[in-house]
């Protein structure tokens, strides 16, 4: 019946970590890592770590039943499904279009030698 009570000290420590990470994320945003993707990756990693701090300590997930972990995890999985499958569309549009143009071109001017299949490569 007794529930784990997180100590005030732990809360303060997590708060300090969150503050440091906030400063860090602002700081690194101004550094040019040469590739924009790297900046995003670092920013998102920091955000995920911060979110985990809040989830695990402030929201007591650490001391909660496995069911709550499952619920929290399932929302992340579903987000990934939603974003992932939508991006399947957006990330393949250019590629599909170029394939289409190749096929049209091939049809208009068939190559003189034995034709290779114009399908996807």
Partner 1 sequence: MSDSKPSYLAHHFDHLEQQKQSATLGIWLFLITEVMFFGGLFLGYIVYRGLYPEAWHTGSEKLNVILGAINTVVLIFSSLTMALAVHGAQTGSRKKTANFLLATIILGSIFLGIKAIEYHAKFFPTTDYNLIPGANFSYPAAYADQMQLFFSFYFTMTGMHAIHMVIGIGILIWLYVKALQGTYHENYYNPVEVTGLYWHFVDIVWIFLFPLLYLIGRH
Partner 2 sequence: MSSATDINAGTTAKNYLNEKITVSSWLLTLDHKRIAVLYLVSLLAFFLIGGLAALVFRIELMTPEADILRSETYNKFFTTHGIVMIFFFLIPSIPAVLGNFLVPVMIGARDFAFPKINLASWYVFMFGGVLALVATIAGGVETGWTFYTPYSTMYANSAVILAVCGAFIAGFSSIMTGLNFIVTIHKMRAPGLTWFRLPLFIWAMYATAIVILLGTPVVAITLVMIFVERAFGFGIFDPSLGGDPVLFQHLFWFYSHPAVYIMILPAMGVVSELISCFSRRRLYGYKVIVFSSLAIAVIGFFVWGHHMFVSSQSTFAGMTFSFLTFFVAVPTALKMLNWIMTLHKGSVSLSSPMLYAFGFLGLFVIGGLTGLFLSTLATDIHLHDTYFVVAHFHYVMVGGGVMGFLGGLHFWWPKITGKTYPEGWAIFAAIVIFIGFNLTFFPQFQLGVHGMPRRYHVYPEEFQVLHIASSTGAMVLGFGYLVMAVYLIGSLITGKPAGKNPWNARGLEWETDSPPPTHNFHETPVVRHPVYAYEYASETSDEPDVTSEKNHV
Q: Which residues of the shown chain bind partner 2 in the complex (CB under 8 A)?
A: 67, 74-75, 78, 81-82, 85-86, 88-90, 92-93, 95-96
Binding segment for partner 1 among 73-81, 100-108, 110-118 (CB under 8 A)? 73-81
88 binds partner 1 (CB under 8 A): no
Mark the segment that binds partner 1 (CB under 8 A) among 9-17, 100-108, 109-117: 9-17
Nearer to partner 2, 30 or 90 (CB): 90
DSSP string, 2-52: PPP---HHHHHHHHHHHHHHHHHHHHHHTS--SSHHHHHHHHHHHHHHHHH
The per-residue b/e assignment along 105-116, b for 16 or more CB within 10 angstroms, e otherwise, is eeeeeeeeeeee
């Amino acid at each position: 019946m007794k529930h784990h009570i997180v100590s005030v000290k732990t809360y303060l420590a997590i708060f300090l970590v969150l503050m440091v990470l906030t400063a860090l994320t602002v700081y690194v945003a101004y550094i040019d890592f040469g590739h924009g993707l790297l900046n995003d990756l670092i920013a998102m990693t920091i955000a995920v770590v911060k979110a985990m701090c809040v989830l695990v300590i402030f929201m007591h997930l650490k001391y909660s039943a496995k069911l709550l972990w499952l619920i929290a995890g399932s929302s992340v999985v579903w987000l990934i499904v939603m974003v992932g499958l939508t991006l399947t569309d957006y990330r393949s549009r250019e590629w599909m279009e170029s394939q289409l143009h190749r096929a049209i071109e091939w049809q208009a001017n068939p190559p003189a030698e034995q034709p290779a299949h114009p399908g996807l490569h």
